[in-house]
Amino acid sequence: MSAQSPLKQSGANGSEQNGQLGIEQMFAQIMTVVQKSSTEISELRQESTELRQANKDLQLQLKNVMNGSLALKNPHRANSSPSAPPSPALGYTVSPFLAPNPTPSFYVPPPIDVTTGKAISHEVPGFWAVVPAGGAGTRLWPLSRKGYPKFFLDLTQSGRSLIQGTWDRLLPLSTPDRLMVVTGVDHSQGVRDQLPDLLPGNLLSEPMPKESAAAIGLAAAVLARRDPEAILGSFAADHMISGNEAFLSAVTEAAVTAKKNLLVTIGIAPSHPATGFGYIRLGDRLNIEGAPNACRVSQFKEKPDSRTASAYLSSGSYRWNAGMFVVRAKFLMELLHQNCPELAEGLDKIAEVWENESERTRVITDIWPTLPKIAIDHAVAEPAAAEGKVAVIPATFGWDDVGDFSSLADILPTEIGHARVLGDQAMVITDQVAGGIIVPGSGRLVACLGVDDLVIVDTPDALLVTTRARAQEVKKIVGKCKDGGWKQVL
């Protein structure tokens, strides 16, 4: 083999040196970018810390102002602070997470369009917003109690309870005169306290729980006599919604569609293969003017297993059933007479005397206990869908029924690697804790070390400790408390 020429060898060495130099330069550039990114991240962290502190200062200022305003009205309560709810036996109390004098549910005029000078209105003529406020909220025990269900709680730490948030959300579509709440007699006073602008005649009290068909049906029977052309929209008191404009748009489309004598539901775009919700299968578009997204409901589906839920999600043809219904009041009564006549006839008898308070009490006391206990989905929605009488508006807004502590943890803000806290952050100390949710409601410190995904709810008379994975099973503990004679904490 011949020896390599000096020129060739020199070229090879030069190429090797150039290659090494190129790698070094690239590495130096990468390190410069990393250092710059680290500096920017540090600055962002500092800004975030400053914003959090400013937010805390603002909250403290607001609290002081609210306490000062309250002191002028009632000097004896000037130094009081919100406390966790006691056992229901001790009577009705305010939410532990509401300010001492929460903002009243006053009517807010629509905003003004600066370009035209005219009011921006979402009001739907003839639309009545009906809010069924029921349920025991057993999956959120001990925060939620039989006498103090979750719709009375401020789970968003906004100073507004869930039912107040529902009122705020529905008000642009209607007026205070056309907002109605259906609730149990045990919760009627709480509703009056939290919704002071609710007209007395628009609070319908049930003697005992009878599921959604009776509650919504009662509102429909009363409205059909007050306003034969009324369009009823039913929205649960304890759900959370994000994307207000999308919500208002969907309800407006639903009201337009309901005028065609259709029972209309609003389908939520699924974000994951949930097994805790029912599903709606989309059918053909209806091509209704003013409701471009309206489709016929092909079928209602019960809560699926995980494999079926994944198939629903991947198909793109299914929506979550959030239990929102928009329908002409008279048409809903027709559907009830057709599919659940015993319930419809009883509701008609109650509605006939509803405006007469003395007669109302006598008749509802006699008839209400005899009414069938059935959900509106089973009573009318499913059989009506089989006849092509149900439509759906596929919606784009965010929705959560806050069904347990795990779902509540998902909506609470937190830093990565930390537990969520509902309540006073100063009453919680953690180290190496991630993913869980802590509710310090007893006034004592809650300290956690090295535990992940725990649910800790500390109230004056009951302490719950479980995991997020078992959050759906909290109602079992409520049942055991009942069986064990602990009725005072239910």
pLDDT in tens, 347-401: 999 999 999 988 999 999 999 999 999 999 999 999 999 999 999 999 999 999 8
Q: Which residue has the tokens 């920017």?
A: 40
Summarize the confidence of residues 32-52 as an average pLDDT: 66
Can you give the pLDDT at residue 412? 87
Residues of the chain with CATH 3.90.550.10: 95-403
More confident residue, 4 or 326: 326
As a whole number, the mean pLDDT across the chain is 83
State the Cα–Cα distance between residues 128 and 170, nearest whole angstrom. 9
pLDDT in tens, 477-488: 999 999 999 988
State the Cα–Cα distance between residues 444 and 376, nearest whole angstrom. 43
Angle between helices 329-339 and 211-226 (to 10 degrees): 130
Count CA within 13 A, CB hemisphere, residue 175: 4
Q: How many CB atoms are located within 10 Å of the residue 317 CB?
A: 14
* pLDDT of 71 higher than 50: no
DSSP state letter for 324: E
For residue 364, the SS3 value is helix
Contact 163, 131 (CB under 8 A): yes
- Say whether domain 95-403 belongs to CATH 3.40.50.720: no
Phi/psi for 199 (5° steps) reads: -65, 140
* pLDDT of 98 higher than 80: no
* pLDDT of 152 higher than 60: yes
State the Cα–Cα distance between residues 151 and 322, nearest whole angstrom. 16
Can you give the pLDDT at residue 81? 31
DSSP state letter for 473: G
Can you give the pLDDT at residue 87? 33
pLDDT in tens, 244-298: 999 999 999 999 999 999 999 999 999 999 988 999 999 999 999 999 999 999 9
Which range is least confidently modeled, 46-60, 94-108, 412-426? 94-108
Contact 459, 442 (CB under 8 A): yes
Summarize the confidence of residues 394-413 as an average pLDDT: 90
* pLDDT of 101 higher than 70: no
The terminus-to-terminus CA distance of the chain in angstroms comes to 95
Q: Is the peptide bond before 142 cis (omega within 30 degrees of 0)?
A: yes
**pTM across the whole model:** 0.76
Can you give the pLDDT at residue 320? 95
Can you give the pLDDT at residue 69? 39
